[in-house]
Amino acid sequence: MTAQTAIDTAEHFRARFSAARYCTFSCYTALLVLFAGLNLLRQEGSVSTWLMQTLPLLVVLPGLLQNKHRSYSWLCFVILIYFTAYVVEVMSPLFVWSDALALALSVVIFIAAMLASRWLQRWQYHAAQASGTVAQAAQNSRQNGRQ
């Protein structure tokens, strides 16, 4: 693999990761705002319910901010809890719009976080390949200059 090909491939995965990261954080923030609105702004809401809904999501936040692919993978596992709960709520006769919104957000978060995790790993791999290829090319040119 040439240095330029490796750099182009790494850049391709960086761009994909950036888009997936943006989508993940947008929906993640929207879900947290939805939980805050439902539990802190309404009379029937409570702080304890809000904490129970948000703490599992907040556990992975430091790793997400540091762009660790394992945190994106763990977010997928955590969001499955919300997906399961909201599928039940959406299918019940007591269905409300916020349940459907939370379900849609959880599906988008799952898909975006899964893709972000995979593309982050690929970007890091190809960036390492590119830096190794560039370093190898520089070393070869130095050796050729000495001969």
CA 92/CA 129 separation, integer angstroms:
51
User: If pLDDT is split at 50, 70 and 90, which confidence band does 1 have?
Assistant: low
Residue 140: per-residue pLDDT: 58
pLDDT digits (tens, 9 = 90+) for 13-47: 999 999 999 999 999 999 999 999 999 888 887 89
Is 0.75 surpassed by the pTM of this model?
yes
**Mean local confidence (pLDDT), 90-119:** 96
State the virtual CA torsion across 86, 90, 95, 96 in degrees, nearest 10.
Answer: 60
Cα gap 101→86, rounded to integer Å: 9
Given this model, what pLDDT does residue 51 score? 94
Q: What percent of the chain has pLDDT over 90?
A: 71
Q: Are the C-beta atoms of residues 105 and 75 closer than 8 Å to each other?
A: no
How much is the average pLDDT of 118-138?
80
Q: Sorting pLDDT into bands at 50, 70 and 90, what band is 144?
A: low
Cβ atoms 127, 4 nearer than 8 A? no
Better-scored residue on pLDDT, 133 or 55: 55
Q: Which residue type sits at 89?
A: E
* Least confident stretch, 27-31, 40-44, 52-56, 61-65: 40-44
Q: Are 34 and 105 in contact (CB under 8 A)?
A: yes
- Number of helices (H) and strands (E) in the chain: give both, helices first: 5, 0
Would you state the structure tokens that stand for residue 110, as one six-digit string? 């799952």
Q: Check whether 146 has a pLDDT greater than 80.
A: no
Please give the average per-residue pLDDT across 97-119, as a whole number: 97
